[in-house]
Structure formats: C-alpha cells, structure tokens
Structure 1
Amino acid sequence: MDGEAKLDFAWLPAGTEALADGEYDAIVLGTGLKECILSGLLATKGKKVLHLDRNDYYGGDCASLNLTNLYTKFGKGDPLPGLGSNRDYNIDLIPKFIMACGKLVKMLLHTKVTRYLDFKNVDGSYVYKGGKIYKIPATSAEALNTSLMGIFEKRRFRSMLMYIYNYEEDDPSTYDGMDLKTQPMSDLYSKFGVDANTQSFTGHTMALMRDDEYLNRPAIDAVRAIKMYAYSLERYGKSPYLYPIYGLGGLPEGFSRLCAIHGGTFMLHRSVDDILFENGKAWGIRCGNEVAKGDIIIGDPSYFPREKSRVTGQVIRSIFILRHPINNTADSESCQIIIPAAQAKRKSDIYVCVVSFAHNVAAANTYIAIVSTTVETANPLTEIEIGVNLLGEYVDRFDSVSDQMEPEADGTQDNCFISASYDATSHFETTSDDVLNLYQRITGEALDMNINADSTDADQ
C-alpha cells in the first residue's frame, strides 16, 4: 500500500472561468474533507455539482501545507534554515489517523477513491499513564504481557477482552447474562471487576470515547468500537491506523477528482460574496457580478451567515517539527499517543499524533508532531504541556486555537447543509459520522457502505 508518487491535480480548474450556465443541483462551498466527500458522493448519483473554495489550494481547514505556506499561515516569516525544501513537506493543519476498518475506509472503498491514494500503516498506538508511555494492549496475548497493569488486573482485562471479541449481537448464547443494548458500560466493567485505570484506557484509547459519559450509555456502543479497533489491528498488524502518503490533503483531492470525473465543476480562489435567500430558503450564491442557482447549498460554517451556526467550544492544536522519534515508542516513524483525561486531571483527552519522512510529509530524518485537545481554560497552551513534554527537543512550533462550530438547524428547512468543525480527536470516526449524517439529511437516504472486506487490498 505504500506510495511512490504524488497525484497531480493540476487538471482541476483554478477558478478563472465563469459560473458555467448558473444552475446546479448542489453548490458546495469549501474543499474540506467533509465537503469533498459529499460533492463526490452527489456527483456519482448524477447530481450536477458546483464546488468553490476561497483558497487557491484544496483541503480548507484540513489542508496539508508545504513549509513556506505553513510559516506564512502562522505569520512566522521565512522558514528556518536547514529544514529542507518545500517539496519535502506536506504538513497537516488538523491531525487525524484513519481507522483501518472504520467508516472513512468504507467510504473510500465504496467510491473507489483508493485508486488515487496510497497509505502506510501507523507504527504504534500508545497510552499515557503515570508519566510513562505504554503500548495499548489490544489482544489477549498483549493483555497478559503488558506492563500497564498488575498480574491480577491483566487476567481480569483479558477475560473482558475475550468476552467482547466473542460477543455476537445476533447470538444470545454469547451474552452471558448481559443485555448490552440496555445495560451501561459501567455494568460491563463491573462484571469483570476491572479497575479505574483499565476502564480509562479501554474507553478512551480503544473505544475512542471522548469523555466518561459513555459509562452511562448502553454498552453496545463501546463494545462495537472496541471490536472495530481489534479488527483494524488484526488487518494491518502494527496499529489499527492508516495514514496517507503525502499527508491528509490527498483525501479531499481524491474526492475532488471523483466529483470532477462525474461532471462536477471546481473553482479555486473564488470568494463567495453572498448566499441568496428567498422566503427563508437558500437558492443560490453571488460571486461578484455572477450568480449561480442551486437547489441546496453545502459548506463549512465560515461560508454561511453567522446566525446559521453556533460556537460549542474551542480546540487547541500545536504543530512541532522534530529531528527525532518520540521516546519510549520503539523509535516509531509514526504513532498516536492518547493521554486520557483522568491522567491529565481534565475533562477531555489530549492527543499526540506523529508522522514523518516515512510518509513523505517531511524532509529526511524529520518528524511532525501535533498535540491537540479541547480547550477547557483561559490558558490553552498550558493545557497541552503534558503532551508537549513527551516530545523532547523541537526545532519549531506553531500554535492555533480555533472555534468549534455546529449548525443551528439540519438544513431541511433553509436548504443550508452546514458541516460541523473538526474536533480534537486524532481519528476520523467523528468526521465520518458528520458526513453520513449530512448525506442522509441531503438525500433522504442512508449511504450504503456495504463492502466486501476481502476485496479491499485488490481494490487499492
């Protein structure tokens, strides 16, 4: 699956042409991943799609930037000497890994966008406990060998894992007296007597829950997530995660190509001056003296009137350029480290994502680390210090705090289908959920993602 050459998207229009004949089934604003997936899916359904972006590059908030563009975006002038050339770098603004058997992979396979991209397995997945980093035990064998817990706790944890892996929703003989669709996850933990530490890393690093509210929800949600984690790990071995060669920017580019192949019109560097409304319903956009009509308008919150969205919080993300791997990660060229909220004495987890030259996103022997979390105080930089301290010495850093936005309405009444901002998580599961939700609201039907898993490698 490793790639050798980056895709050339020069064939996509740069936005100098007029708005064609001006009438479309859907107008999509912004080339973030969510918007590009939706434009690709709609185009394959035969919809006439116009897709615009105010920037002169693809990806929006989730773009991958070269060195010069990164320094320019953060107002830091020229890149530091000795870092290499622009062509060596594709640095993500938003850090995310792809769960190997997760929803985004199913979308990639469903649309065959995998033919445009190459991926590499992430080397390891780790959890922080008591000032140290430990590999996340995800199999019964690893549960017995891990130094993350004592010998008696290992046995309890292994018994719980075996129950979860053997549990089948359509086979009551595997329930062992539990009703996971009604009983909370706290009941499942109690059944096996696992301690608070085991509950923390199981829920936050395997089930990928963002807070402890899941303890009070039906256990089936966490069990499904843990099983997906295990299946993903079994499929590729080192960790359950994949990452695109040349960075995450290739994902929106791939879906953009899918849309264009099916007749979509793309225009970069085209600002949208107004979204046009009549009787409370959007019917088009204005760009200068040009107007394009559209049955629906799709986009990220920044393209719509402010009253269409609300701020639900903030996320801090700090990008670091390193010359070394992270200590205690077996010299991994890529890894994820999750610091559970309880370990950081906070409400939200802290995520550390590391990629490197091995993925063609940095110069030789150079690593890119991104530390992120949901902001909880008036001093966001201090909130991620526990993650920053894991990195060791760094060459340079780039800090940003951004608002998390969500739409006020579902779009069915005003024809404005607005995506939510990207959260602090280091995986694409919540992103995929938002895409699937938007798709169903737009089309009135759920996306059928039934894929023969045995064919995934062949399709790529």
Structure 2
Amino acid sequence: GQLVKMLLYTEVTRYLDFKVIEGSFVYKGGKIYKVPSTEAEALASSLMGLFEKRRFRKFLVYVANFDENDPRTFEGVDPKKTTMRDVYKKFDLGQDVIDFTGHALALYRTDDYLDQPCQETINRIKLYSESLARYGKSPYLYPLYGLGELPQGFARLSAIYGGTYMLNKPIEEIVIENGKVVGVKSEGEVARCKQLICDPSYVSDRVTKVGQVIRVICILSHPIKNTNDANSCQIIIPQNQVNRKSDIYVCMISSAHNVAAQGKYIAIASTTVETADPEKEIKPALDLLEPNPNFLCTLFVSISDLFAPTDLGTESQIFISRTYDATTHFETTCDDIKDIYKRMMGSEFDFEEMKRKKNDIYGEEEQQ
C-alpha cells in the first residue's frame, strides 16, 4: 500500500529488511478464515456457499479487469458516481461477503464507504490482490526486528541529507513569536526553526480528543488456532460480525521477524473504544488467541486517548499529527503523513512525481 510506496520512493528500504506476514484472515461467526482474493481462492474458500463463491468469483474477475482509464471495463458502472453498495447489488453479493470485501480486502474501518463512489474501493481491492501476487502468502510486510526499525531507517536517511537527531531531550517550551513558531527550547538552549512537526503530546492546547483506542499485547507460547500454524498473521474482525461500529484488528508476529524468542508469539489486538467497558469490546479478539493459563505467558492492556489537531498550522507553522488509531496496516497513518505534507507545502504529495524525479536522477534501469 501507501507505506510500501513511501519506503521505496524515499529509498529508506536501504536501511530496512522486511519479511512477509504469512497469512491474512477474516472473522466470521466466531471462526477465522483465510481471506480469498483470487478466483481460485474464492472457489476453494469455506467462507462462502457454492453460489456465493461463483458470484464473488465474477466480482473478482470484474475488479481484476477494471481500468479507470478504459470505459470498456466499466460494464455499466460509472466509477465516479455509482456507489459501492450498488456494485455489490450488481453482483448479488451477500452481507458476509460485503463485510470481508470492504474490511479485509479494501481495509475500510467502517461502512461509510458503501455510499461513496466505487472507484476508490475497486482500486483498493486491486492493490490487495496485486500485493498478494507480489509477496505470495499475504499482502502484508513487517520489518525484521520490529516497527522500531522504521523510525531508525528514516533517521539514517535524514543523516545523509544533513538532518540531526537529538534523543532523550526534554522539551521545555515551543517558542512562539508573533503567532509563529521560531524554535524549541530544551535544557536552556533553543533550536531555531521555521516549521515544526510534532505529535499531540507536545501541544495539548492545539488538539482535541476524538476518541480512545484499546490495545492488548499478548505473549503466547503457541500460534493462533485455525491459521495453519502460521508464525505471523493479520486478522480483521469486521464490525458487523460483532455488532460494533468499528473493526477489531489482530496482528501476530514471532521469532520469524526477530521480535520474540523461539517458541513465543506476540499478538497485538486493538480496536476503537465505543463503550464504558473497553476490555469487553476486545474480547472477541482475545477469544481467538485462547488466552488461558496453560498457553498465555503475559498480557498487557492499554487504553489511550485519540487526538486530532485543531490548529492546522497555517498561521503558527506548527504541524501536528493525529494519534495512532486502532488499525495495524498503516494506511490511515500514511493518510495523515500526506495531510501534513499538504498543510506544510500547499500541494498534494504525488507518488508518481517523486518516481519521475528519481528516474530523472538515476535512470529507469537502475530503479528496476
């Protein structure tokens, strides 16, 4: 998805090693099933009945052939006007199939997309299938040695371009003059700047609370049941399957990604808080992990506030990110990065333009 594009085009991949997540699964009726994203998988999947499989196969063929620049592939659908709900009706897909298509293939967090033009959703499903074809077992990648390698990789890249990282520096004050940021004060010294990027924890007076997220980290001594003993996997529990407004996510990794000892598995379950009892909300995910005394080593629960900026930075030149949400696939984080870029630079971040600049510098052959 977007994150892989960012990593490739910025060349931060020179400082990172990735390994594919072994399986992609979706929850239905208390059990998990492999997410079918190809015609062959659709016909073999136990997630659907015989007739549903045929209809879903036709839908996947349509998506695979869809080209937003070729009206001959539209089959009576206007990608900029026809809603995704109407596309599902066109192929007579049932609610369970709609659930896993929208949430496990297109990676939407809610069902709001159903009444929006279908082009974005179709392209998301195509991206999922193309990523699966590229990586094999699933469309997801995870950095060896854990997510901490991502900021480390960018720190190394930043150093090449003259950037300086100062770690463990207490922030005493963000220095403002005439309504604009001019620096950051730490231990009596001021680092001067014209623009500042920060997370909400540094500017509590410029953000608003928009919700909460619950995360549970489980250290297991066994792989998750019904995943063919995969040493890593992503599981999405669509909102409708558990009578919620937002999805529940489970990401499991292990020693295969150099983040745990041999024989240990780290599962991270997360969701947006909707009630006064967050731990009950996350229970469907924990039930899949079988967290009983015979298997579970350790369990950590955290409930965090979600913040969004009220100051967009136009005047102050302080550009504030959103708090990390419950998703585990980083699509929303990439959207936030692009939003900050637009606020800072005044124009959209263009992947293709970045790719063209690289080709101008290095030539297309070296980019292969």
> TM-score range with shorter-chain normalisation?
over 0.9
1:257-296 mapped onto 2 (5 Å cutoff): 257-296=156-195
- 1:394 is matched with which residue: 291, 296, 300? 296
Aligned pairs (5 A) from 1:123-202: 123-202=22-101
The structural deviation recorded for 1:278 is 2.2
Distance in 1, Cα, partners of 2:116 & 2:235: 25
Q: Is the 1:309–1:408 contact (alpha carbons within 8 Å) kept by the matching residues of 2? A: yes
Q: Which amino acid aligns with 2:310?
A: E
Match of 1:373 in 2: 271
Q: Aligned match of 1:332 in 230, 237, 241?
A: 230
Q: Distance in 2 between matches of 1:115 and 1:445?
A: 28
Q: Distance in 1 between matches of 2:351 and 2:89?
A: 35
**Following the alignment from structure 2 to structure 1, what is the Cα–Cα distance between the partners of residues 95 and 252?**
28
CA RMSD of aligned residues (A): 1.9
* Separation in 2, partners of 1:224, 1:422: 24
Partner of 2:296, secondary structure, is coil
Summarize deviations over 1:77-136 as a string: whole Å, max 9, x none. Answer: xxxxxxxxxxxxxxxxxxxxxxxxx11111111111111111101100001111111000
Conserved in 2, the CA contact under 8 Å of 1:156 and 1:193?
yes
- Gap change, CA 1:459 and 1:318, over 3 Å in 2: farther
Q: Which amino acid aligns with 1:339?
A: I
In structure 2, C-alpha distance between the alignment counterparts of 1:378 and 1:337, rounded to whole Å = 25
SS at match of 1:433: helix
Structure 1: distance between partners of 2:200 and 2:30: 39
Q: Does 1:236 align with 2:138?
A: no
CA drift of 1:443 comes to: 2.1
Matched residues in 2 for 1:442 and 1:116: separation?
27
Q: Which residue of the partner structure matches residue 408 of structure 1? A: 310
Secondary structure at the aligned position of 1:266 is classed as coil
Q: Please report how far the alpha carbon of residue 299 of structure 1 lies from its aligned counterpart in structure 2 after TM superposition.
A: 0.7
Q: How far apart, CA to CA, are the structure 1 residues paired with 2:214 and 2:185?
A: 33
Equivalent residue number for residue 117 of structure 2: 218
- The aligned counterpart of 1:317 is 215
Are the counterparts in 2 of residues 112 and 459 from structure 1 also a CA contact under 8 Å? no
Instruction: Give 1:169 shift.
Output: 0.4
Deviation at 1:416, TM superposition (A): 0.7
1:275-307 C-alpha deviation (Å, 9 max, x unpaired): 111232222121132112210111101112x22
1:206 equivalent to 2:108? Answer no
The answer to whether 1:120 aligns with 2:120 is no
- Unmatched tracts of structure 2, length 5 or more: 357-362
Does 1 or 2 have the higher relative contact order (CA < 8 Å, sep 6+)?
1
* Counterpart among 419, 423, 427 of residue 321 in structure 2: 419
Give deviations 1:307-341, integer Å, cap 9, x for gaps: 20011000000000011100100000000111111
1:429 aligned partner, one-letter code: E
* CA distance in 1: counterparts of 2:312 and 2:116, whole angstroms: 24
How much has 1:459 moved relative to structure 2?
A: 6.7
Question: Which secondary structure state, in structure 2, belongs to the residue aligned with residue 317 of structure 1?
Answer: strand
Is residue 2:262 matched to residue 1:364?
A: yes
Q: Tell me, which stretches of 5 or more residues in structure 1 are unaligned? A: 1-101
1:442 aligns with 2:344: yes
Instruction: Figure out how many residues of one structure are paired with residues of the other and give that number.
Output: 358
Q: Is the 8 A contact 1:115 1:459 kept in 2?
A: no
- Alpha-carbon deviation of 1:449? 2.3
Say whether residues 1:355 and 2:253 are aligned partners.
yes
User: Does the CA contact (< 8 Å) of 1:318 and 1:399 recur in 2?
Assistant: yes
Q: Given residue 271 of structure 2, which amino acid in structure 1 is its aligned partner?
A: T
Partner amino acid for 1:231? Answer: E
Identity %: 55
